[in-house]
Amino acid sequence: MTVDSIPHARSSALGHRGWLVLITLCGATFMTGLDYSVVTVALPEIGRDLGFASAGSLQWVATACLLPTAGLLPLFGRVSDIVGRRRLFALGVVLFGGFSLAAALATGPALLIAARAGQGASAAMITPTAIALMTAAFPEGPRRTRALGVNGVVLSLGFVLGTLGGGVITSGLNWRWTMLLLAAISVLVLPGTTTLPRAAGTRAPTRLDVPGAVLASVGLFALVYGISTGADAGWLSLPTLGSLSAALLSLSAFFLAERRHPAPLIPLGLLNRPTVKWSGLVGLVTLGMCGGTTVLLSLYMQDVLGYSALATGTGFLAEGIAALIAGVLAARLIAALGTARAMSLGLAVQGLGTGAMVFLPVKGGLPLVLATSGAMGFGHVLTVVSFIATMTSGLRDDEQGTAGGLSQLPQFLGGIGTAALAAIVTARAGALSSTTDPAHATLGGLHAATLAAGLLCLAATALPLLIRTTPLGPPRGVSKSGTYLASR
């Protein structure tokens, strides 16, 4: 293993230094996960305080952060393989803290949106390098799986606690404190970067694939923009169709260019590996369906049950607790079942929990919300840990940054699932609106969408069978630099 890898690879114990590394990386993961959810609850107050002209322009406070992250993930994943991961990670943490402070001090819409875009670009530096640094510090085996389990829990808790904490902070103080909280977390994370691996093997001896980087960034930016704004602008509107067309053209050109480039941004051989492409598809399903269903549950609790925003955040606590339990048990389940079977089990539990939401009533549905969302959260985190462990296994060290970026991409492309489920709700609720009251019509749409999400997760349980995985037990080979490699 590398000189900075944590020893005792065959043990599941992380050790003192291992925990320092993990706390640093998970602190940054928590910070970026919190950023996407904590601001959502604060949007109405932000609009009133800074004088946003419309709800459409206010939505850019969230979208301006999402787009750069999604568009720049492949670029920074590759850059980390070239310039060094610890260096890029530390830079991302510093910039994220600086832009969070700038957002807290913003005096107008333009300044806030610019700061949010900076936060998104910084998050694109942090997320792929955090995964790559984790795989460098914890070689393949139970310790890496345990570390990924903790990371999955922290990311899920960041989203859940962001919704709850955003309401508490905004109600008790004001929205600027949500940004100050993010800046404070970055300050706490930064000293821990000294514990991270200094040299995870050798850096990639190549120049950056600039054409590929431009095409991938433009394509992903246009794709996420089209998905994010399509529901409000209309899926057949000119801006939405133009954005999705630009995404299709750019990404098609990207794959053509990568075939000819001597040092591509994303090597197609890596992308075609069964462990990468099929586990990536599993990630897209689990993240898209969980994210979309979470939005539907928020709609159910507020529009059907009549909950406040704060009470709605509390309703997601079961999902957060179940995610915590799944993260703790993930390493043991994967060791017992293997990553492929663990993925299938996670998808099955998520699918059953999501599909059972078809029984949510028009009144008094909190117990069923807690039970079904808890099952969904447990299965989701188990699936996430399993698919990331699979995607990052058996790779050369100079591929880990790229793989880290690819493993994080599904959470941003998961907006496809949210858009699809929202479309089902709209269509079904519209069909029922002439025969029942608005609450029952909305509930009928939610039932149709959650049933579809559950069935898709259950159907996806077959995907891991296409992955030729290797056991995550003791490694069978060692590279020249000493890094454990799985046999291919």
Minimum mean pLDDT range among 160-164, 234-238, 278-282, 420-424:
160-164
How many C-beta atoms surround the C-beta of residue 29 within 10 A?
26
3-state secondary structure at position 320: helix
| 485 has a pLDDT exceeding 60 | no
Please give the pLDDT value at position 119.
Answer: 94
Question: Which one is predicted more confidently, 168 or 29?
Answer: 29
Predicted confidence band at 473 (pLDDT cuts at 50, 70, 90)?
very low
Minimum mean pLDDT range among 278-282, 305-309, 469-473:
469-473
Q: What's the pLDDT tens digit per position in 109-133?
A: 889 999 999 999 999 999 888 888 8
Q: Which of 196, 152, 172 is nearest to 286 (CA)?
A: 152
Residue ranges of domains in the chain = 17-195, 210-264, 266-464
Instruction: Of 57-71, 127-141, 363-377, 455-469, give the range with the top mean pLDDT.
Output: 363-377
Question: Which one is predicted more confidently, 68 or 353?
Answer: 353
Q: What span, in angstroms and rounded, lies between the C-alpha atoms of 366 and 438?
A: 20
Q: What span, in angstroms and rounded, lies between the C-alpha atoms of 467 and 471?
A: 12
Mean pLDDT of 14-21: 77
Q: What span, in angstroms and rounded, lies between the C-alpha atoms of 13 and 19?
A: 9
Question: Which one is predicted more confidently, 127 or 2?
Answer: 127
Please give the pLDDT value at position 472.
Answer: 43
- Distances, alpha carbon 23 to alpha carbons 33, 79, 352, 389, 399, in Å: 15, 24, 33, 19, 24
When the pLDDT of each residue in the chain is averaged and rounded to a whole number, the result is 80
Angle at 207 between CA 206 and CA 209, to 5 degrees: 115
How many helices and strands, by DSSP H and E, does the chain display?
18, 2
Please give the pLDDT value at position 248.
Answer: 92
| 371 has a pLDDT exceeding 90 | yes
Q: What span, in angstroms and rounded, lies between the C-alpha atoms of 448 and 426?
A: 10
What CATH class does 17-195 carry?
mainly alpha
Minimum mean pLDDT range among 17-31, 381-395, 405-419:
405-419
| 486 has a pLDDT exceeding 60 | no
| 460 has a pLDDT exceeding 60 | yes
| 84 has a pLDDT exceeding 90 | no
**How many residues comprise the chain?**
488
| Cβ atoms of 12 and 329 closer than 8 Å | no
| 469 has a pLDDT exceeding 60 | no
Instruction: Of 8-17, 94-103, 276-285, 382-391, give the range with the top mean pLDDT.
Output: 94-103
| 4 has a pLDDT exceeding 80 | no
| 102 has a pLDDT exceeding 90 | yes
Predicted confidence band at 468 (pLDDT cuts at 50, 70, 90)?
low
Is the domain spanning 266-464 CATH 3.40.50.1860? The answer is no
Question: Which one is predicted more confidently, 68 or 227?
Answer: 68
| 183 has a pLDDT exceeding 90 | yes
| Contacts (Cβ under 8 Å, ≥6 apart) of 340 | 386, 390, 464, 465, 467, 469
- Distances, alpha carbon 51 to alpha carbons 47, 61, 105, 171, 379, in Å: 5, 13, 15, 19, 42
| 59 has a pLDDT exceeding 70 | yes
Supply the DSSP symbol for 49: H
- Distances, alpha carbon 159 to alpha carbons 66, 141, 154, 344, 413, in Å: 14, 28, 9, 24, 16
